[in-house]
Amino acid sequence: MENLKTNAEITWCPGCGNFGIFTALRNAIPKLEAKGINREDIVITAGIGCHAKIFDYLNLSGLYGLHGRNSSNAEGIKISNPDLKVITFSGDGNGLGEGLAHTIFAAKRNQDITMILHNNGVYALTTGQFSPLTNQGWKGPSTPLGSFETPFNAISLLIEVGATFVARSYAGDIKHLTKTLIRAIEHEGFSFIEVLQPAMPYHKWEEYKDKIEYLSDEPKSKEEAIKIAHNAHRFTIGIFHQEIREAYHKSLYGSLNPVKESLSRDKRLEKIIEILKS
Amino acid sequence: MVHDVFTFLVGGKAGEGVKKAGSVAAHIFSSLGREVFQMDDYMSLIRGGHNFSVVSTSSHSITSHYMKANLVVNFDKRSCDTHINDVADKGIIIFNSDEQQNADGIGIPLSSEAEKYPMKKLMFGVGAVAILSSTIGMSKDQMNQNIKNQYPRGIEDNIKFADSIYDLVKGRCKNKYPLQRGYKERSIITGNDAISLGAIAGGLDTYFGYPMTPASSILHFLAKQAKNFGLAVVHAESELAVINMAIGAAFTGAKSMVGTSGGGFALMTEGISLAGITETPILCVLSMRPGPATGVPTYTEQADLNFALSAGHGDFLRIVASPGTVEDAYYLTAEMLDLVWKFQTPGILLTEKHLSESSMTIDLDIERAKWAEPKMHNGGNYKRYKDMDDGISPMLFPPSKEIIKWNSYEHDEIGITTESADMIAKMHNKRNKKLRKLIEHLKTQATVNIIRGEHPTNIFAYGSTYMSVLEALKYGGLNPTIVQPIYLSPLPVWELEEFINQDNIVIEQSVTGQFASLLKEKSDLNIRSVIKRYDGRAFDPIELSIKIKEELE
C-alpha cells in the first residue's frame, strides 16, 4: 500500500469504519495506476461530515465542497475537463439528505464520476441524529421517541434513477472494498458504491460482522438488480448492477475538452463579428 | 414628437407573433440606418393574455422606448382597451375590426383576412408589419423582401396576406410617417445577448444555468452557440447545482459563468460564499425582476441591490457591477470575467429585465473586450493559498504532480482544514488584502460614467435606469450632470467625492431607495430627493422628464 497521506492530523474516532475506506482507496490507487490511470488525473471532491475528513488525509488534488453539493462540484470538474477521473465522497446524510437531488441527477445524467457513499447510518459529526438510511426506531437527539421514517434503499434507488454501476461493500472487508473501488473507478459512467461502516460512538463492528452476506451472482438485468436489491437485506454486499450507457459529457459535446481546447481570443472575436452580421 | 423619434406599438395575445412583429419592425428601422430601442412587455403565460412590443426609433441615439406611440396596432379588443392612452399626439390606432367595432382609429379586418390562409391568427404579426410598412411609405417590394427574410415559413401566403393588408391601409394612411434615413446600419441585440457575447469574448468556457426569467435567454443563447465556440453549456437541476458545478468547473481552470434572477440567486448564495472561502473565480449574472419571492416574473425592478452586495454568509470580497446600456453589458461582462480571475473571488453582474430583454441597435468595438487570465504558479512547491502581499495566490490546475486543494473549511496555505486561531486570522487577513489591491486596480480604469451638464444638479442612476434618464433628459431638453456608477461593490467613492456636497437627485427602481441608501452610506452623498418607480415597468422618458423637470426647477 502506498502512503498517499498528507500530514493532516487524523481526527476520526479510533476504530472508525472510515479507516477501512481510507485504506482500501490507498490500496486501489496504485492498482489503478498499474492499469494506466495517472494519479495526477485523479481529482476528489467531498461534502461535509465524518466521511469528508478523508479529503484532508488523502494526498490527492480536489475540492472540499459544501454539505451535499460535492457531486455537483464533481460534475462541474468532469464536464470542464473530461480527462480527469473524479471521485466524490459522500455520507448518507450528505448524499441522500441535503444532496439527494444532486446525487439522483448525477446518476440520471450518467455523469462519469464515482460516488463513494460512506454509510454509517447516522449523522455522526452532528451528534447522532437519524439519517436517510437509518432504520426506524433510532433514538437520536432529534428523534427522542425513535425515528419513524422508512429509510431509503440506496441501492435500488440509484439503479432506478440511472446509475450505471451500483455496488455495496463493507469497510470491514478491505479486499472486497478495494476490488469494488477499482471496478467502480474504471467504470465509464456514474458509479455508486455504498460502503457500510460503523461509527464508533453509535455502533459496534460486531453488529456488522455477523450480518454481512455476499451477493452470489451479479444480476443480469436492471429489473433483476432492483428486485434483488429489494429482497436482499441491507448487509448484502457485492455488485448489483453494471450497464453501458454513453456518459453525459460525451452526449453534451462529443470528444471536446472545453478547458484544454478553449478557443483563442482571435477566433472568438471573429465568430462574434459573424454573429452580429447575421 | 421630439427630435425624430417614431414609435410603433403592437399588441395582441401571446402566440400571435407580437414580439416577432416588434423585432421585424426594429430590423426595418435599423435597415434604414436608424437607431432602435425595443421593449417587450409580456405576461407569465404561454398562450392568450395580452402582450405588446414597443419599438422606438430615431436617426440619432435612442436609449428607451416611448410609451406614447405614433402607430398602435391592436390585434384584439383587450389591446385596444389597454393602449387607448398610449397614442401620441396625431398618432393613429389601427385595430382589428373583426374583434371590435366602434373603436377610435382605423379598423382593418385582420381576422377575416387571415382566415383565408391555413396559418390564420399566426399571421397577425405579418399583418402588423404590412401596416407599418404602408404607414412609413415603404414600397411593397421592400416589404415583401423583409417578410421573406423574417418569416421563412409559408412565404407565399404571408406575402399575399401582407399585400392585402398593405392595400387596406394604403388609402387611409399610406406614407403618413415617412421616416428619414439614419446614418449607419447596425446590429440589434438584447442585453442578454450582449452579456453572452461579452462572456465569450472574455474567455468563457462553461455556462451553467437553470431557467428563470429574465436570465433564461443567456442559457438559450449560449446553448445555441455552444458548438460554435466549443463551450459546455449545462441546464442543471437547480441553482444549487448550477453554482456548485460552476465552482467545480473553475477548479479545472475553466472560465465559468452562471445566470439567474432573485429567487435562483437566493439559492446560489451558499455557493457564492463557498466561492468566497475557496477563492473561486466565478461570475454570476443576476437579472432583477420585481420581488419579493416569485414577485412579477416578466417585469423589471432594481430591488436586489442590497442582496447582491451582501450575498453569501461570512466576510469575503464580492465584486458587483451593473451595465448601463446593452453595449456596456458586452464590455462589462468581459471585464468582470477578467476581474474575478484576477482577484479569485465571486463577481456579480447586476442587471434588470429591462436591460436583459430589451433590444437595441449597437455599434460595438469587439476588440475592446478584456480577456480573463489568472496569475499562474510558475514552478516549485505549490500552495493553493500561499499568503502573498496582495492576497492573491498563484493558481494551478489539474492534472499536476503538485497537490491542489481548494477547501470550504477554513484552511492553511496548502488547503488543509484548520481550526488554529492564528491560521483563521491569517487567512481572513490574506483574503481581505485583495480589496486594497482591487481598489488600486479599479482606480486605473473607468468605474463611474459621468456625463457633464450645465445645470448644477446631478442625477445619480445605475443599471438600465441610466438609459431611461438619458432619454428623458434628451426629450425634456434638460441638462443636469448624470452620474452612473458602474461598480457598486466596491463603490468607487474616489470618483464621487466632488459631488458629496452638491445638489443630488437619485433615480431608481426600488420602493425603499436601496441605491440612494448605498450612496449615502458609502460616500456620504447629500441627496435632495429620490425619484422611484416600482410598478414593474421601466421609466417612460416623457413621464420621467416631467418629474426631473419639477425637481430641477
Of A75, A268, A269, the CB nearest to B248: A75
The answer for A 85-114 residues in CB contact with B (under 8 A) is: 101-102, 105
Contact A159, A218 (CB under 8 A): no
Q: How confident is the model at residue B3 (pLDDT cuts 50, 70, 90)?
A: low
Mean pLDDT of A96-107: 98
Contacts of B231 in chain A (CB under 8 A): 258
The Cα B152–Cα A151 span in angstroms is 56
B residues 352-411 near A, CB within 8 Å? 362, 364, 366-367, 369, 371, 397-409
> Containing domain of residue B316, as a range?
190-368
Residue B179 covered by a domain:
no
Q: Any idea which residue has 391592436 for its cell?
A: B74
Short-list B482, B460, B357, B472, CA closest to B64: B472
In this model, does residue A86 exceed pLDDT 60? yes
CB B169 within 8 A of CB B222: no
Distance of CA B21 to the CA centre of its chain: 21
Q: Let me know whether B13 and B152 are in one domain.
A: yes
**Is there a domain that residue B138 lies in?**
yes
CA A184 to chain centre: 9
A99 within domain boundaries: yes
Q: Are residues B380 and B428 in the same domain?
A: yes
Q: What does DSSP say about strands B480-485 and B529-532: parallel, antiparallel, or unpaired?
A: unpaired
For chain B, how far is it from start to end, CA to CA, in angstroms?
23
In a domain, B391, yes or no: yes
Q: Which residue shows C-alpha cell 416574473?
A: B297
Q: Which chain B residue's Cα is nearest to A248?
A: B234
Q: Which residues of B touch A125 (CB under 8 A)?
A: none
Calculated CA dihedral for residues B437, B440, B443, B448, nearest 10 degrees: 30
Q: Is residue A7 part of a domain?
A: no
pLDDT digit string, tens, across residues B85-130: 999 999 999 999 999 887 789 999 999 999 999 998 889 999 999 9
Q: Which residues pair with B485 in a beta bridge?
A: B448
**Out of A43, A79, A259, closest to residue B234 by CB:** A79
Q: Is residue B202 part of a domain?
A: yes
Q: Provide the pLDDT for residue B1.
A: 40
Last residue of a domain, one of B119, B139, B173: B173
Check which CATH number belongs to the domain holding A112 and give it.
3.40.50.970
Q: Is residue A6 part of a domain?
A: no
Q: Going by C-beta distance under 8 Å and a sequence separation of 6 or more, which residues neighbour residue A136?
A: A146, A147, A148, A149, A150, A151
Report which of A159, A92, A87 is spatially closest to residue A123, judged by C-alpha positions: A92
Instruction: Map residue A213 onto helix, strand or coil.
Output: strand
Whether residues B454 and B516 share a domain: the answer is yes
Given a contact cutoff of 8 angstroms between Cβ atoms, the answer to whether A28 and A178 are in contact is yes
B159 shares its domain with B21 = yes
Q: With beta carbons under 8 A apart, name residues in chain B contacting A76.
A: 206, 208, 244-251, 256
Q: Looking at the partner chain, which of A63, A78, A256 has a beta carbon nearest the beta carbon of B230?
A: A256
Does residue A201 sit within a domain? yes
Question: For residue B347, what is the enclosing H or E element?
Answer: strand B346-352
Do B200 and B274 fall into the same domain? yes
Angle between helices A18-34 and A174-186 (to 10 degrees): 50
B479 in helix, strand or coil?
A: coil
A102–B241 C-beta distance less than 8 A: yes
A41/B228 Cβ within 8 A: no
Give the per-residue pLDDT at B35. Answer: 98
Query: Is the confidence at residue A20, as pLDDT, over 60?
Result: yes
Residue B184, in any domain of the structure: no
Best mutation target, B228, B235, B405, B418, to test chain A (most A CBs within 10 A): B405
Q: Which helix (H) or strand (E) holds B13?
A: strand B6-14
CB-nearest partner of A276 from B187, B404, B407: B187
B391 and B474 together in one domain: no
The model carries a pTM of 0.97
Which chain B residues touch A7 with a CB distance below 8 Å? Answer: 416
Name chain A contacts of B364, Cβ cutoff 8 Å: 276
Q: Does residue A202 register a pLDDT over 50?
A: yes
Is the pLDDT score of B175 beyond 80? Answer: no
Identify from B205, B222, B267, B367 which residue to disrupt to test chain A contact, counting A C-beta atoms within 10 A and taking the largest count. B205
Residue of B nearest to A44 (CA): B405
The predicted pLDDT at position A251 comes to: 98
Assembly ipTM: 0.98
Beta strand B35-41 with B48-58: parallel, antiparallel or unpaired? antiparallel
Asked if the C-beta of B211 comes within 8 angstroms of chain A's C-beta atoms, the answer is no
**Residue holding cell 451535499?**
A68
- Rg of chain B over Cα atoms, rounded to whole angstroms, equals 25
How many Å apart are CA A117 and CA A102, to the nearest integer? 13
pLDDT tens digits, one per residue of B379-393: 999 999 999 999 999
Q: Which of A78, A101, A272 sits opposite B238 (nearest CB)?
A: A101
Residue type at B59 in one-letter notation: S
What are the beta bridge partners of residue B43? none
Separation CA A157–CA A97 (nearest Å): 13
Interface contact A55-B407, CB threshold 8 A: yes
Mean pLDDT of A10-15: 96
The number of distinct structural domains making up chain A is: 1
Residue A278 has pLDDT above 90, yes or no: no
Give the pLDDT band (50/70/90) at residue B172: confident
Give the integer Cα–Cα distance in Å for B449 and B121: 46
Distance spanning both ends of chain A, measured CA to CA: 61
Regarding whether B143 and B36 lie in a shared domain, the answer is yes
Chain B contacts in chain A segment 216-235 (CB below 8 A):
none
Check if B47 contacts A (Cβ < 8 Å). no
Spatial CA neighbour of B449 closest among B459, B438, B439, B436? B459
| Confidence check: pLDDT of B292 > 90 | yes
- Binning pLDDT at 50, 70 and 90, where does residue B2 land? very low
H helix runs in B279-373, sequence order: 305-309, 326-343, 353-357
Domain final residue pick, B116, B147, B173: B173
B524 conformational bin, left if phi > 0, alpha if psi -120 to 50, beta if neither:
left
> Mean pLDDT, to the nearest integer, of B259-285?
98
For residue B174, the model assigns a pLDDT of 72
Strands (E), B175-300: 187-190, 206-209, 232-235, 256-260, 282-288
What does DSSP say about strands B282-288 and B256-260: parallel, antiparallel, or unpaired? parallel
- Rounded CA separation A203/A185 (Å): 29
In a shared domain, residues B204 and B71: no
Q: Which of B201, B249, B417 sits opposite A56 (nearest CB)?
A: B417
Q: Please indicate, yes or no, if residue A225 is contained in any of the structural domains.
A: yes
Neighbours of B372 (CB within 10 A): 23
B191 vs B4, which has greater pLDDT? B191
Q: Are B490 and B516 in contact (CB under 8 A)?
A: no
Determine the Cα–Cα distance for residues B149 and B164; give it in Å rounded to an integer.
19
B336 neighbors B319 (Cβ within 8 angstroms)? yes
What domain count does chain B have? 4
Taking each continuous run of H as one helix and of E as one strand, the counts in chain A are 11, 8
Put simply, the answer to whether B245 touches A73 (Cβ < 8 Å) is: yes
Q: Are B201 and B193 in contact (CB under 8 A)?
A: no
Mean pLDDT of chain A, nearest integer: 97
Please state the three-class secondary structure of B36-105 as a single string.
EEEEEECCCCCCEEEEEEEEEEECCCCCCCCCCEEEEEECCHHHHHHCCCCEEEEEEEEEECCCCCCCCC
Choose among B282, B245, B235, B254: nearest CA to A70.
Answer: B245
The one-letter code for the residue type at B520 is K
What pLDDT digit, counting tens, does each position of B294-351 carry? 999 999 999 999 999 999 999 999 999 999 999 999 999 999 999 999 999 999 999 9
CB B268 within 8 A of CB A72: no
Closest residue in B to A74 (Cα) is: B248
Summary mean pLDDT of chain B: 96
Q: Which residues of A touch B371 (CB under 8 A)?
A: 265
Where residue A2 falls among pLDDT bands split at 50, 70, 90? low
In a domain, A156, yes or no: yes
pLDDT digits (tens, 9 = 90+) for B207-233: 999 999 999 999 999 999 999 999 999
pLDDT in tens, B479-491: 999 999 999 999 9
Q: Do both B472 and B348 map to the same domain?
A: no
Residues B360 and B415 in one domain: no
pLDDT at B170: 87
B185 lies in a domain?
no
In a domain, A244, yes or no: yes
Residue indicated by cell numbers 452620474: B483
**Domain for residue A71, yes or no?**
yes
Q: Searching chain A, which residue's CA lies closest to the CA of residue B198?
A: A272
**Polymer length in residues for chain B:** 553
Compute the distance between CA of residue A66 and CA of residue A72 in angstroms, rounded to an integer.
10
Cell 415617412 belongs to which residue?
B178
Q: Which long-range contacts (CB under 8 A, 24 or more apart) does A248-254 make?
A: A248/A75, A248/A78, A248/A79, A248/A109, A248/A110, A248/A111, A248/A112, A249/A78, A249/A79, A249/A82, A249/A111, A249/A112, A249/B232, A250/A82, A252/A79, A252/B232, A252/B234, A253/B226, A253/B227, A253/B230, A253/B232
Q: Are residues B271 and B308 in the same domain?
A: yes
Residue A43: give the domain boundaries.
18-277
What pLDDT shows up at residue B270?
98
Which chain A residues are closer than 8 Å to B416 by Cβ? 6-8, 56
